[in-house]
Amino acid sequence: MPESRGSWRFTTVSSDPDLAGKSGSFVVVAPGPGNHGPVVVHNQYHFAYADATSYIPLGTTLYNWLNRDRDLEIRTLATLSRNPFNKARFLVFPK
């Protein structure tokens, strides 16, 4: 996430032809209410948002999520949105 406002462009580099040479652009604007910016390392062993608001990671793992049907993905996201998680990881391969 860029730390300064403005227009940004990108181009991907990959040995995978499906991922190589993809390009696009986006505009970074002022953060909206409740947006504290990206998470950064704070005091060597902790995390904080860019505006120095504390960040305490609380996450879950989504096992084999990429191999599930679309309905389960939608239900999973709905469930996660009603819980206090602020991060998620998922495994690319089946367990």
CA angle in degrees (0–180, nearest 5) for 87-19-65: 35
Mean pLDDT of 49-71: 88
Residue 95 has pLDDT above 70, yes or no: no
Span of 1-15, 29-43, 81-95 with lowest mean pLDDT: 81-95
Determine the 3-state secondary structure of 70 from DSSP. helix
CA angle at residue 63 from 58 to 64, to 5 degrees?
Answer: 145
Please give the pLDDT value at position 31. 82
pLDDT at 92: 73
Helix (H), strand (E) counts: the chain: 1, 6
- The structure's pTM equals 0.53
pLDDT of res. 83: 92
Res 7: pLDDT: 96
pLDDT of residue 37: 85
Helix (H, G, I), strand (E, B) or coil at 26: strand
